[in-house]
Amino acid sequence: MSTSEAPQVTVYNVRTCTTCRKLAELLEEKGVDFDRVEYHVTGLQEAEIRELLAKGGLGPRDVLRKREVKARDLDVDSLSDDELIAAMVDDPALMERPIVVRGDRAVLARPIERVLELFPD
User: Is the pLDDT score of 5 beyond 50?
Assistant: yes
Choosing from 1, 10, 13, 17, which is the catalytic residue? 17
Q: Following DSSP, what letter does each residue of the chain receive, concatenated?
A: --TTTS--EEEE--TT-HHHHHHHHHHHHTT---EEE-HHHH---HHHHHHHHHHHT--GGGGB-TTSHHHHHS-GGG--HHHHHHHHHH-GGGB-S-EEEETTEEEE-SSGGGGGGG---
Q: What is the CATH number of domain 9-111?
A: 3.40.30.10
Round to whole Å and give the CA distance between 72 and 8. 34
Q: Share the mean pLDDT of the chain.
A: 92
pLDDT tens across 9-52, in order?
999 999 899 999 999 999 999 999 999 999 999 999 999 999 99
Round to whole Å and give the CA distance between 71 and 79. 12
At 29 the pLDDT is 95
At 73 the pLDDT is 86
Q: Is 17 a catalytic residue?
A: yes
User: Is the pLDDT score of 1 beyond 80?
Assistant: no
